[in-house]
Amino acid sequence: MDATLKALFDAADHAAQKAYAPYSNFSVGAAIRTASGHILSGCNVENAAYPAGTCAEAGAIAAMIAAGETKISDIAIVGVKSNPCYPCGACRQRIFEFSDAATRVHLRDGATGEAITHSIDALLPHAFGPRDLA
Ligand code: THU
């Protein structure tokens, strides 16, 4: 894995260590590299009222938007307990909103530690998105 991608996984790992996941004990971290090269990360934040919990990807996207950026170049998603940690359906939709055909979604192969990389189109084919409302 090249140094740029390793830095993204490092940011995702760091965020995952901060996750608040006392109910599932399943900590997740996500890190986005924006089109301009900034890295923004997030972790899952659970809640005693379970549906109020949020995913790591949602946190990373919120950080990206708060930083004034809207284009995901790459996103790395890691679980602490189990990898690969594929994004849930709702998070695939969240990622799609800020993606283009070149956006890459990186998971970690739990056996080798290497990256598994997909396009968002592969993860969410025939997506409904901003263009449908244009
Ligand atoms: N989780 C994420 O943070 N991202 C995903 O894409 C999959 C699931 C979190 C939500 C919940 O806190 C825990 O993992 C178990 O589902």
Q: Look up the CATH number of the domain holding residue 24.
A: 3.40.140.10
pLDDT grade for 88, boundaries at 50, 70 and 90: very high
| Range 117-131 average pLDDT | 97
| pLDDT confidence of residue 5 | 97
**Token pair 């599932």 is at which residue?**
24
pLDDT tens-digit series, residues 53-68 = 999 999 999 999 999 9
SS3 110: coil
Q: Is 1 a residue whose pLDDT tops 90?
A: no
Neighbour-count burial for 23-58, b at 16+ CB within 10 Å, e otherwise:
eeeebbbbbbbbeeeebbbbbbbbeeeeeebbbbbb
| Range 111-133 average pLDDT | 97
Report how far ligand 1's centroid is from the alpha carbon of 72 (Å): 20
- Nearest-CA residue for ligand 1 atom 9 is 55
Q: Is 126 a residue whose pLDDT tops 90?
A: yes
In ligand 1, the atom with minimum distance to the C-alpha of 91 is 6
Give the active site residue among 46, 57, 69, 114: 57
Report how far ligand 1's centroid is from the alpha carbon of 19 (Å): 10
pLDDT tens-digit series, residues 7-51 = 999 999 999 999 999 999 999 999 999 999 999 999 999 999 999
Percent of the chain with pLDDT over 70: 100
The answer to whether the beta carbons of residues 75 and 32 sit under 8 Å apart is: yes
% helix / strand / coil in the chain, to the nearest 5? 35, 25, 40
| pLDDT confidence of residue 61 | 98
Which residue among 18, 25, 28 has the greatest number of ligand 1 atoms within 8 angstroms of its CB, and so is best to mutate? 28
Radius of gyration for the chain, computed over Cα atoms and rounded to the nearest angstrom = 14
* Ligand 1 residue neighbourhood (C-beta within 6 Å): 21, 24, 26, 28, 44, 46, 53, 55-57, 87-88, 91
Neighbour-count burial for 114-127, b at 16+ CB within 10 Å, e otherwise:
ebeebebeebbeeb
Report how far ligand 1's centroid is from the alpha carbon of 134 (Å): 31
Range of the domain at 15: 3-133
Q: Is 83 a residue whose pLDDT tops 90?
A: yes
Is 57 in the active site?
Answer: yes
Number of separate domains in the chain: 1
pTM of the model: 0.97
38 residue type, one letter:
H
Give dist(CA 68, CA 87) in Å, integer.
Answer: 23
